[in-house]
């Protein structure tokens, strides 16, 4: 299953992007919008390079061009909506809502793309989703109950939006090459992200970052590289395999991020000659086990 290898690789790269993004936003940038505006610049560079090397965009039907651009703009708006939702509510409470998007993808794939899952794959999907939700849940019951407010509604819409993007991209691959659609979505998303940089505080940070390269500049470059590669490999996975199952496998991102955090803690404890009990990590181990079983079941099926 080539698509499975692509999907797992995409999840690993996306996890690295999440870790880098968290580091940048917490310790290096004051404005979320600066990061997204700089991302828009990077998208323009990447997509232009793709067109020069691989692209034959102008041979595509006009409706495919417009659909690809619109899909990219839509995906950018979904990304900004997610950040807005995070700013309205505690992140640990709302991450499980975002990570529910694969179930929307499965349902839309069954309804509109003619995809089908047998019983083992449905059970595997449930196991992966439970594991991802368990990995995203706050430790020790911190944060209380999730309030059904504006943030939750916004994030549910964003989760459904991710699913719409996934299914639409899968459908457009029947009319466009992988590289052409990839470039089109980046061209479509770039103006939306660049518009975020109009804010004064974002503009000042962008100028400072580009004019005086330092640690955050290099971290941003690494973030964009990981994100770019994750997106490419995800497109390859969707091109080769069923969109619903690809999304389910890539939803293991929270578990991979959690594994990184656990490994960091264990390494720090080792360096400080402290011992860590496995009892403190029962939830994390259970989450990893559920996701591993789910991925294995899908691979076996």
Tokens matching residue 131 = 């594991």
pLDDT for 143: 46
Confidence of residue 132 (pLDDT cuts 50, 70, 90): low
Residue 89 has pLDDT above 90, yes or no: no
Query: What's the whole-number mean pLDDT along residues 221-236?
Result: 87
Chain CA centroid to CA 57, Å: 26
Span 152-162, average pLDDT: 78
pLDDT of 292 higher than 70: no
The interaxial angle of helices 178-195 and 150-172, nearest 10 deg, is 150
The pLDDT confidence band at residue 7, using thresholds 50, 70 and 90, is confident
The pLDDT mean for the chain works out to 75
Output 301 or 184, whichever has higher pLDDT.
184
pLDDT at 255: 67
State residue 150's pLDDT score. 64
Residue bearing the bigger pLDDT, 5 or 92: 5
- pLDDT confidence of residue 31: 75
What average pLDDT score do residues 137-165 get?
65
- Residues 245-288 pLDDT 10s: 777 777 666 666 666 666 766 776 666 666 655 555 676 667 66
Contact in structure between 34 and 202 (CB atoms under 8 Å): yes
- Summarize the confidence of residues 229-238 as an average pLDDT: 86
Write down the pLDDT at residue 277.
59
Confidence of residue 67 (pLDDT cuts 50, 70, 90): very high
Q: What mean pLDDT do residues 198-203 have? A: 74
pLDDT digits (tens, 9 = 90+) for 179-195: 888 889 999 999 998 88
171-177's contacts with Cβ under 8 Å and 24+ in sequence apart are 171/112, 171/113, 172/64, 172/67, 172/68, 172/71, 173/238, 173/239, 175/60, 175/61, 175/64, 176/60, 176/64, 176/68, 177/54, 177/56
How much is the pLDDT for 185? Answer: 92
Q: What pLDDT, on the 0 to 100 scale, is given for residue 111?
A: 74
| Model confidence band, residue 141 (pLDDT cutoffs 50, 70, 90) | very low
- Residue 90, pLDDT > 80, answer no
Q: What is the mean pLDDT of residues 6-14?
A: 85
Compute the C-alpha angle 277/283/289, nearest 5°: 105
**Cα gap 145→171, rounded to integer Å:** 38
68-87 pLDDT, tens digit per residue, is 999 999 998 988 887 666 65
């Amino acid at each position: 299953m080539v698509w499975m290898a692509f999907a797992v690789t995409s999840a690993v790269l996306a996890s690295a992007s999440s870790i880098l993004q968290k580091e940048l936003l917490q310790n290096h940038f004051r404005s979320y919008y600066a990061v997204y505006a700089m991302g828009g610049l990077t998208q323009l560079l990447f997509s232009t390079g793709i067109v020069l090397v691989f692209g034959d965009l102008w041979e595509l039907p006009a409706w495919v061009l417009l659909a690809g651009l619109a899909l990219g703009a839509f995906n950018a708006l979904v990304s900004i909506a997610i950040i807005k939702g995070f700013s309205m509510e505690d992140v640990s409470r709302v991450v499980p809502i975002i990570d529910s998007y694969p179930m929307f993808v499965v349902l839309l794939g069954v309804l509109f793309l003619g995809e089908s899952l047998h019983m083992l794959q449905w059970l595997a999907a449930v196991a992966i989703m439970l594991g991802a939700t368990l990995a995203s849940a706050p430790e020790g019951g911190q944060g209380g109950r999730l309030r059904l407010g504006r943030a939750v509604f916004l994030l549910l819409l964003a989760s459904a939006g991710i699913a719409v993007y996934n299914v639409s991209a899968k459908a457009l691959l029947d009319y466009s090459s992988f590289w052409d659609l990839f470039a089109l979505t980046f061209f479509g998303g770039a103006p939306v992200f660049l518009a975020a940089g109009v804010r004064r505080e974002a503009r000042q940070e962008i100028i400072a970052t580009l004019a005086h390269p330092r640690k955050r500049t290099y971290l941003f470059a690494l973030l964009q590289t990981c994100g770019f590669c994750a997106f490419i490999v995800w497109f390859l996975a969707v091109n080769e395999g069923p969109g619903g199952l690809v999304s389910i496998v890539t939803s293991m991102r929270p578990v991979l991020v959690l594994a990184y955090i656990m490994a960091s803690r264990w390494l720090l404890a080792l360096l400080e000659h402290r011992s860590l009990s496995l009892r403190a990590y029962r939830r994390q181990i259970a989450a990893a086990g559920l996701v591993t079983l789910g991925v294995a079941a899908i691979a076996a099926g």
